[in-house]
């Protein structure tokens, strides 16, 4: 399912939960939710598969993951 939680741009490092609300993570994409906290079950037209990992994954804050996506999909990955 194409929800934010399974998108490569849904942050693994910048998350929050206010009170008893669901966890929200910062979106690093360039779509309509860019630079906003979103819930995992939200949807977005800028969704992209996270099959290689998140763009901010430890230990190198996504450097190797972003390079792998660029190698697989080209410069605009």
- The pTM for the full model equals 0.88
Residue pointed to by tokens 């450097």:
63
Element (H, E) at 65: helix 63-73
pLDDT at 62 (0 to 100): 92
Q: Positive or negative CA dihedral for 22, 25, 30, 33?
A: positive
Looking at the structure of the chain, the number of domains it has is 1
Q: Which helix H or strand E contains 25, and what residues bound it?
A: strand 24-27
Q: What is the pLDDT along the chain (77 residues), one digit of tens a residue?
A: 799 999 999 998 999 999 999 999 999 999 999 999 999 999 999 999 999 999 999 999 999 999 999 999 987 77
Distance, in Å, from the CA atom of 21 to the CA atom of 58, rounded to the nearest integer, reads 25
Q: What's the domain range around 11?
A: 4-73
């Amino acid at each position: 399912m194409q929800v934010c939680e399974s998108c490569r741009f849904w942050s693994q490092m910048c998350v929050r939960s206010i009170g008893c609300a669901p966890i929200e993570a910062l979106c690093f994409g360039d779509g309509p939710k860019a630079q906003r906290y979103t819930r995992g079950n939200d949807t977005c037209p800028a969704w992209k598969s996270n099959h290689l990992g998140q763009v901010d994954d430890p230990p190198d804050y996504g450097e190797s993951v972003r390079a792998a996506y660029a190698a697989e999909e080209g410069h605009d990955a």
